[in-house]
Chains A and B, each alone.
Chain A
Amino acid sequence: MNRRKLTLFAGLCAATLASGFSNAALAGKLEDILQRGKLIVGTGVGNPPWHFRDEKGDMAGFDVDMGKIVAKGLFGDDTKIEYVNQASDARIPNIVTDKVDITCQFMTVTAERAQQVNFTIPYYREGVGLMMAAGGKYKSRDEMKAAGAGVTVSVLQNVYAEEMVHYALPDAKVDQYESVDLMYQALNSGRADAAATDMSSLQWFMKQNPGKYVDGGYGWNPQTYSCAVKRGDQDFLNFVNIAFREAMTGVEFATYSKSFEQWFGVKPPEPKVGFPEELR
């Protein structure tokens, strides 16, 4: 897609320029944000249950709730947030150019990306699943695997999309789409036999449309989701990490747990009282 390439190009230009100009902030990010009185969170808009606008027009989703946890830690008030809506490929450019303080947008942690931004501690581990139309040609991943090259799978555009699908269905034809709704549209119109995308998104969509789709019964491709902040400010990164750690294991666990259950339909495991187990 042209637009993606261009955004990427602009991002690269920006990154190159950034290394040239050393615009070091006078105070740290943490002080800047506290003085400003609000946190600027970069996230997307069209991917429930991660980030989307609910029917009242408010931002909602698990990514959005992670932003709220940081805002609550900063100001004791999780409404002091300004959202910057960004496409997936604007995630890194917007951090590098200080358009946002933090990006929480189902961002897969890779070592390559960690050269450009600082990742926080992870808040979820995602996997990929398959979804088919109910009453369609194929009932499960095994049937599709047996059908070989006759199967078309719709998938979200990504550099490793082809490889990812072929891990589960070695001979399938892979059609890449720009957004999740277009992927589902391909499935509905019969252009694709199955859609392969994040398990959490599939489960959310199946819950919204009961009886219309079936799960392929196979999950693979683990990926870790973290928020990202600008490189070089260890102090702010440390603050966010503490806020997240305490949300997953400490005083804010109730908030994290409630959000987790709301968006994924299951409760996360309770932190055990006694020895802090994450140190084992």
Chain B
Amino acid sequence: MEQFLHELWIARWPLAQGLLLTVEISVASITCGTIIGLFGGIGLTYGKWFLRWPIRVLVDCIRGIPVLVLILASFYLLTFAGINLTAIESGLLALSIFCGAHMGEIIRGALQSIPPGQIDAARAIGLTFPRILAYVLLPQAMRQIMPVWINTGAELVKASTLLSVIGTGELLFRTQEIIGRNFMTLEFYGLCGILYFLVNSMIERFGKFAGQRFALQ
């Protein structure tokens, strides 16, 4: 135990950096993914066929590909198109696209569950489509999206560990570096697991709080 605490003290900055990068990458890709998903979901629900079908194909393809393959593809394959992204950039790209495809589907589901009569009613009182979305549809969809959104967030934190494969210095990668030096395998993988658990339970807490905020009073 004493040796572990000693090694932990030596490794405190790399671990903190790794944790910070994990959180940063997760937050950034959830944000980008949600924006992509919002447009994707609206396009899937209300778009004309020439908009809807390409989005459908894209979403289905991305949802069918393992995240690890997406990560490796954005790291390696893009170089042949002349785009040379760093490990962090390609990780962000892959996770955002992954999150976007899932969010698109979630938002489509939520929007479709709203009775279409409401759109007619909103039109009847003279609202334009963007306003119908902002005042009528999205606030109602929000209530359904919230729990699933939180879930996707927790999934993304876990998926970010896959970025260690391309050498992104996130938490799992830093842990592997530390174990490579001091060979305290069980101790540091255990600590790493606890840290991920803490991050995800914080996300869940936030989800509960936000869920109450959007709940019907």
Contact = CB atoms under 8 A, between A and B. Distances in A.
Given A86-B167, A185-B185, A46 B180 contact: yes
Given A6-B68, A53-B14, A98-B84, A13 B76 contact: yes
Contacts of B13: 57
A21 interface: yes
A180 B80 contact: no
A14 B181 contact: no
A44 to B, nearest CB: 8
B76 A180 contact: no
Contacts of B79: 14, 97-99
Interface in A152-195: 179-182, 184-185
Chain B interface secondary structure, helix, strand, loop or mixed?
helix
Contact of B180 (A6, A45, A86): A45
B76 A181 contact: no
A87 interface: yes
Interface in B151-210: 165-167, 169, 173, 176-181, 183, 185-186
A14 B183 contact: no
A62 interface: no
A85 B173 contact: yes
Interface string B67-81: 011001101110110
Interface of A: 2-3, 6-7, 10-11, 13-14, 17-18, 21, 23, 45-48, 52-55, 57, 84-87, 90, 93, 97-99, 179-182, 184-185, 205, 208
| 4 A-B pairs closest in CB distance | A46-B180, A85-B167, A10-B72, A97-B79
26 contacts: A10-B72, A10-B75, A14-B80, A17-B80, A45-B173, A45-B176, A46-B177, A46-B180, A46-B181, A52-B181, A53-B178, A53-B180, A55-B10, A84-B87, A87-B165, A90-B165, A93-B76, A97-B79, A98-B84, A99-B79, A99-B84, A179-B176, A180-B180, A181-B183, A185-B183, A185-B185
